Structure 1
Amino acid sequence: MSNGTSVKGGGTFRFGLLLLAFPLLLWLFLLVVLPHIDLFLVSMRERISYG
């Protein structure tokens, strides 16, 4: 009657998987978000024309 969660070390496996996935997910999130933040700041900056 076990559902597979009572396997010895199951929590350790899940923690290890999250530990490995976190840098990848963080990198993908920053790869998408940082350029958009930069574009937003550039678009909000006041443009000063010379001449």
Structure 2
Amino acid sequence: MRAARVAVVCIFCNGEQFFDEAIASVMTQSYDHFEFLLCDDGSTDNSTARALE
């Protein structure tokens, strides 16, 4: 039986200061069959560049 795929959606607006913690939280989960989507909601800080990294 194949594991169900999970979508983790992170919508952000000027959330650069929270990226490291939010990404680490998702990446350290024991379940590894997921996709991680980052959606910019009009940021004016460096959030978009950080998301693209």
TM-score (norm 1): 0.28
Structure with greater strand percent: 2
Larger radius of gyration: 1
TM-score (norm 2): 0.27
Higher relative contact order (CA 8 A, sep 6+): 2
